[in-house]
């Protein structure tokens, strides 16, 4: 008579593999949205930095000309998109001026429009809006 010996198992069963795939899917579904939010925050911080740089430009302009406006209207900004280098661009940078005040605006575009803060502004007093995003 033949006796059956212990059978050695090699590899994974389909159920074990499906459990691992399910665990990875759960972890990814939690981690990916958090990653995307961090990417949006980084892009926003970059735009805020660019707005502060433009605010400095506007103050230098005022020191040289005693007004925030030039003869034809709003002065030409040295940068008009954020980030300054690389692509794609996530914000358009614009200025609106009067003789004694300015408003710098970073308008979100592309995938950055999903950011909860939306468009960012800085005025000549240094106040940034929306306040909870600065």
**pLDDT tens digit string along 71-129?**
778 889 999 999 999 889 999 999 999 989 999 999 999 999 999 899 999 999 999 99
User: Among candidates 46, 121, 122, 126, which has minimal Cα distance to 89?
Assistant: 46
CB 119 within 8 A of CB 107: yes
**Average pLDDT score over residue span 52-59:** 96
Distance CA 110, CA 40 (A): 11
Do you know the residue count of the chain? 134
Domain extents for the chain? 14-133
């Amino acid at each position: 008579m033949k006796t059956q010996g212990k059978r050695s198992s090699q590899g994974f069963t389909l159920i074990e593999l499906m459990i691992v795939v399910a665990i990875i899917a759960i972890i990814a579904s939690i981690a990916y949205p958090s990653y995307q939010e961090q990417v949006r925050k980084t892009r926003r911080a970059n735009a805020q930095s660019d707005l502060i740089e433009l605010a400095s430009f506007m103050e230098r302009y005022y020191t040289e000309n005693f007004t925030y406006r030039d003869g034809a209207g709003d002065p030409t900004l040295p940068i008009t998109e954020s980030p300054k280098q690389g692509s794609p661009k996530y914000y358009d940078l614009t200025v609106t001026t009067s003789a004694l005040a300015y408003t710098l605006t970073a308008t979100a575009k592309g995938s950055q429009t999903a950011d909860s803060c939306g468009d960012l502004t800085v005025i000549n007093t240094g106040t940034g809006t929306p306040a909870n995003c600065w």
